[in-house]
Structure 1
Amino acid sequence: MAPPNRYRARKQPKQPRAAETRQRILDAAAHIFAEYGYAAGTTNRIAEHAGLSIGSLYQYFPNKDAILRALMDAHVDSGTRLLGQRLSDGLPQRLDEVVRMFVRATIDNHRDDPGLHRVLFEQAPRAPEFLARLHELERTAVEMTARLLATHPEVRVVDSDISARIVVATIESLVHRLLTAPTAIDPRRVEDEIVILLTGYLRHGLEP
């Protein structure tokens, strides 16, 4: 018999009241993880903050790892929806405005609770299935970016595929690192600096 997946939540609630209770648990967990960190963010603390008994919490999640997985998925889902909304009207024509659209969407997805994002992606374990999902999303983002770079008239890079990987990794890593840093940085300044950095790189490229 295969061991149970500790990252798997129990069945998704179908009734509105049950769905509301599940969301209360996730909201409480977000607060507790941000305040205490992952190691000290126990299910007892989460249940207490949610105003529930520990038994009620376990009806929805078998442990805090499953709660963590749900929070991580919610973060990724939110980012995917946000970017989709920004892309629904099409891409701007100017390269710097295209870069800004992607940078701003990434910043907006990290803006609400930097402390929680630091816990989720630096302190806590990640389920193998979640890592696979992240890798697939990154692959898709790189492919889309490579197609854009290969056709945009302002781009002067030599290898669109490699440059696409650099662009995607730069946006994600710099936004996460700078917005979740203990010393806060104005998100508008972060946005402007990353746009300048990447636009200059893409416009001038490197000689073969």
Structure 2
Amino acid sequence: MNSGERRLRPRKQPRQVRAELTRQRILSAAAHVFTEHGYAAGTTNRIAERARISIGSLYQYFPNKDAILVELLTRHLDDGMRNTAARLPDAWPDSVEETVRHFVRAAIESHLDDPKLLRIMIEEAPRSQALLDKVAHLEKVHVGYVRDLIERHADVRVGDPHTAARLVVSTVELVVHQLIAASDPIDIPHFENELVAMLTRYLTGGNPSSG
């Protein structure tokens, strides 16, 4: 591991409950500080003060605020994976539209907690190799889910299921990230309906029997 990778990794992996609680306090404090002050002004001193710990204690867990932001983004990705898995249906709906809606809604709901922090994570977080690997794994899981949808539904009309699945996943991720994190709020129910309609038309070729 090179020095650039090391500076983006936590220094201490807690083995005791008390240490893990301190780590979570740091992350929670950082989320509030970054949201309130922005990333540039969200210093480690402010984070330590918000977490009610000494700056020395903070540095026992994280070497700098970049590593803290990377950890926040990693936690966001992990939460997104769990939320998506929890919302997948036990049985596939008969309609392509409703199946697509499960996927779209899971993506939207995993981004609603703090849009301003989400925007900071997207725009400011350094990309470590571990983070890139996690993003790639998450994409692979989602592509597999959508490809399964494409191959199971007779109403789907695409020539290349794998390419179509990658296109759907990339579209959902990019559009959801961009519009929910935007400074100009979007109407969530209307956004969900329009995105579901767009993707359903793409997958079915506008076939009305899919709805």
Q: Could you tell me the TM-score, scaled by structure 1's length?
A: 0.92
Identity %: 53
State how many pairs are aligned: 205
In structure 1, what residue type is equivalent to 2:38? G
Q: Is the 8 A contact 1:175 1:190 kept in 2?
A: no
Alpha-carbon shift at residue 2 of structure 1 (Å): 4.8
Tell me the equivalent position of 2:101: 100
In structure 1, what residue type is equivalent to 2:85? G
Tell me the equivalent position of 2:56: 55
Note the residue ranges of structure 2 that are not aligned, 5 or more in a row.
207-211
Q: Is the 8 A contact 2:81 2:138 kept in 1?
A: no
Instruction: Give the CA RMSD over aligned residues.
Output: 1.7
Tell me the equivalent position of 1:178: 179
Alpha-carbon shift at residue 11 of structure 1 (Å): 2.5
Is the deviation greater in 91-100 or in 101-110? Answer: 91-100
Does the C-alpha gap of structure 1 residues 2 and 183 become closer, same or farther in structure 2, counting only changes over 3 Å?
closer
List per-residue Cα deviations over 1:16-65 (Å, max 9, x = no partner).
22211111100011111222222222111111111111111112111112
List per-residue Cα deviations over 1:58-100 (Å, max 9, x = no partner).
1211111221121111101101111111126233221111111
Q: Is the 8 A contact 1:47 1:53 kept in 2?
A: yes
Q: Is the 8 A contact 2:70 2:125 kept in 1?
A: no
Runs (4 or more) in structure 1 with deviation over 4 Å come to: none
2:47 paired with 1:46: yes
Alpha-carbon shift at residue 139 of structure 1 (Å): 2.5
Tell me the equivalent position of 2:193: 192
Is the deviation greater in 130-139 or in 95-104? Answer: 130-139
Q: Secondary structure, in 3 states, of the residue corresponding to 1:104?
A: helix
2:19 paired with 1:7: no
Tell me the equivalent position of 1:111: 112
Q: Is the 8 A contact 1:68 1:120 kept in 2?
A: yes
Note the residue ranges of structure 1 that are not aligned, 5 or more in a row.
none
- Structure 2 matches for 1:1-208, cutoff 5 A? 2-3=2-3, 5-87=6-88, 89-204=90-205
Q: State the alpha-carbon separation in 1 of the partners of residues 117 and 20 from structure 2.
A: 22
